[in-house]
Structure 1
């Protein structure tokens, strides 16, 4: 069924199709539309789920940890300060190997108070053990959310489906929404590998002494390392049913490219237009879209960038004292290769500032005309102070 919906509601529709059992959420702009629609579905009987209204995002995740431990399918959504408040419990969810799915609508962190898009909130959680998948448009947000449940329930790790505030969450687009019976063929009922059970009592979240803790963490890493292959197999099934797939990394015109733009989220859509315009002018430019950030797609990135001379990484995020976070990780992924492209890191669009076609084209020409990066992170679009009178 084709329907024009906003990006947030595309996520809501996927959660409905997943037949989630428990939803727990605290409202925070700009994710609120996701759980508002889900609360309506729970109220009118469209979705047979328990909707838990809690007093904070910390409590929302705590409630889902309890529900997931009892063996039911769970979902929440948050943004920015709400995600930061969840931070402690993100570790608990991942360490307990609970397949919770969360939509995270990227929003800048305060202060100053800002409700517009920036990826720093989700990337600040990169070491918590959550899988992170970044979406470009509303169709991908729906598809990825539905896939996320199957991925989480296969590798026993929580999954964060990430989408840009307003540029995606509040923008209306045509979206193909599967019929419930089609979704059921793709996503069977949840069968937990372990759960709270009075007939088979077990201890959960116990003290982990030094002779056990490292093995627990290694097991989580093994699950992370398997997740990309599992996602690939899931996408094979999804493509057979619905005709769509995305890949952990998407490469466009990279085989002959001297310079490759590396993007994530909605900046990718704008970059596709710039890519076409530059290719029409004869420029050897390609595009790599990063969908998966955790686990990091080392091998795919190396393959797709192998022939390039330079990468222009556009980061809508920043790690203070270091630089753009995708650029950092990409440099790390390439550093041991005998032949590797130069990595130019650009920071743009913080706090929701527009990243237009002109901005992206400027980034391309800066990269092409520079022998080496002028800095670890090149800030694009700063408002220069007015000259002294």
Structure 2
């Protein structure tokens, strides 16, 4: 059923359609509206049977989800930014235990300095924890990916993060097609847990494992991720057959067939990139876009197949590995090992900075002309950076960099020492 609805509420409705038995909640912007929506659905009886548990922290939220899942319940939670970091220990535990928990990550920057706006720093910080990570381009895809995530998690016995851009998607009102309960029930089988804590048949879950078996346990998690590489496109194909729309999968090429330059990205920026590519195509430039939906497991073969005929690849990412550069770009580079392509990494949108079509047009024209640096920062104010570096050279007591640069751009009306 088509509705004009906020992204967070649409996700709450989709999660409810999956019939979780336990929802654990601790609010943090921009995730809050999702768990608020679910609490209302539980309170009014639209989501039943389901236990909605308010907890005292993000660590507790995932810990409760771990306990619920280990006891045989379909479990869900959501978080963002520092909340994801706070639950990091439990994040690794859930993956190591092979528990099929689904969690929404409403992507938001990580401080310091404090920033509540969108980038992908939070999810990227946990990229090696063992969770499957799926990135949504639109609110419709966010809805669809949550339904696919529950089925995927339970088929391969691994937890799944569904990542959606904070505020850009979570707080945007768009037209979304919400499935009916019978449709979802036909697509998502009832949860049959592989391992259950049952007093009648005592078992140990999460026992200590020494050097004699730890590597094998970790490999098992990797083997499950490799199985997910096969199941993700299969589940997406079944979803399309049942619901009549393509959503999910490993990668989503756009006008890549004859493209000499292909831009790789994740999340909502793909929409702006597609509009930009349409403009440049009209001007005669053979450019395409490759959206990556499954960041973990990373689809090396699918990425290589989509990019191997291009002359150059531009990886646009909303995260940054300090001291190195791109994060997604390193995985793309692995996929292209042995191919002679010009490759560029572009860092954009950190802390919620707008990524405009005008900036992307300039960027891609420079890329086509091979005028980009290997590592480029889109719309960086280099004058502000230079002033701060000069202060640090001149005075070792120049104060916190963030506050000094805010004064430079007029964000704080205080005289700099």
Scaled by the length of structure 1, the TM-score of the pair is 0.96
Q: Give the alignment partner of residue 385 of structure 1, picking from 383, 386, 390.
A: 383
Q: Is the 8 A contact 2:30 2:166 kept in 1?
A: yes
Question: What corresponds to 2:133 in structure 1?
Answer: 132
The secondary structure found in structure 2 opposite 1:211 is: coil
Q: Give the whole-Å Cα distance in 1 for the aligned partners of 2:259 and 2:5.
A: 36
Q: Give the whole-Å Cα distance in 2 for the aligned partners of 1:187 and 1:259.
A: 39
CA shift for structure 1 position 333: 2.0
Question: What corresponds to 1:369 in structure 2?
Answer: 369
CA shift for structure 1 position 107: 0.4
Task: For structure 2, list consecutive stretches of 5 or more residues without a partner in the other structure.
Answer: 388-417
The secondary structure found in structure 2 opposite 1:277 is: helix
Question: What corresponds to 2:257 in structure 1?
Answer: 255
Q: Give the whole-Å Cα distance in 2 for the aligned partners of 1:7 and 1:340.
A: 41
The secondary structure found in structure 2 opposite 1:314 is: strand
CA shift for structure 1 position 197: 1.3
Q: Is the 8 A contact 1:312 1:363 kept in 2?
A: no
Q: Give the whole-Å Cα distance in 2 for the aligned partners of 1:324 and 1:107.
A: 17
The secondary structure found in structure 2 opposite 1:385 is: helix
Q: Which moved more, 1:275-284 or 1:98-107?
A: 275-284
Scaled by the length of structure 2, the TM-score of the pair is 0.90
The secondary structure found in structure 2 opposite 1:210 is: coil
- Indicate the structure (1 or 2) with the bigger Cα radius of gyration: 2
Output one character per residue of 1:230-269: Cα deviation in whole Å (capped at 9) or x when no partner.
Answer: 1111112111110122321011121211100111111100
Question: What corresponds to 2:17 in structure 1?
Answer: 17
Check if 1:293 corresponds to 2:295. yes
Check if 1:313 corresponds to 2:315. yes
Q: Give the alignment partner of residue 328 of structure 1, picking from 318, 327, 330.
A: 330
Q: Is the 8 A contact 2:313 2:341 kept in 1?
A: yes
1:182-197 aligned at under 5 Å gives the runs: 182-197=183-198
Question: What corresponds to 1:32 in structure 2?
Answer: 32
Question: What corresponds to 2:396 in structure 1?
Answer: none
Q: Give the whole-Å Cα distance in 2 for the aligned partners of 1:10 and 1:131.
A: 22
CA shift for structure 1 position 6: 1.2
Q: Give the whole-Å Cα distance in 1 for the aligned partners of 2:180 and 2:370.
A: 51
Q: Is the 8 A contact 1:305 1:341 kept in 2?
A: no
Q: Is the 8 A contact 2:69 2:101 kept in 1?
A: yes
Question: What corresponds to 1:303 in structure 2?
Answer: 305
